[in-house]
Amino acid sequence: MEEIEMPEGMNPEVLKHIMNPQNYGKLTDPDGTGVAMDDKTGEFVIFTVHLSQEGISDINFATNGCQDTVVVGSMFTEMVKNESVEYAQGAITKIEEKLGVLSPQQKICADMVFNAFVAALINVANLAQGKKEEIHIIKSEESCEVAEGDSNE
């Protein structure tokens, strides 16, 4: 395989997840399903989780969002798989530290990933309380749509 020259300022882990996203797709018979949704753009992130006594035994995500959303979803699911739920909740801060300085739009994309994970945990809790809920949805307060005149370049 050819050696790819690392773009200046690019985190090697981010490049790995751009080239080969991990845990993308849907789990069969998940214990919880959560969705974060941007009504303005129609973008969404879906998380499905399998939980065990030890924590998160499996986790997948899917999105119709941008590359930033895919990278954060891939990195986050890799970080929390086979970890406790408590660890996963703290991993949100760790991922933000790994990513470094994010543009406002990238921050909103990352927040959608984290909100979808939180929604999946809420779905697990609601189902455990006997609520009939197929998925739990959290709608984003901010849109990842770039306003005219804004630029990330």
pLDDT in tens, 4-63: 554 555 577 777 888 889 999 999 999 999 999 998 889 999 999 999 999 999 999 999
Q: Would you state the pLDDT for residue 5?
A: 56
Nearest to 46 by CA among 58, 38, 34, 37: 34
- Which phi and psi angles does 53 have, rounded to 5°? -60, -35
**Distance from C-alpha of 60 to C-alpha of 48, rounded to nearest angstrom:** 5
Q: Strand 136-139 to strand 43-52: parallel, antiparallel, or no bridges (unpaired)? A: unpaired
- Domain 12-139 class in CATH: alpha beta
Nearest to 146 by CA among 66, 50, 64, 34: 66
Other CB atoms within 10 Å distance of the CB of residue 7: 8
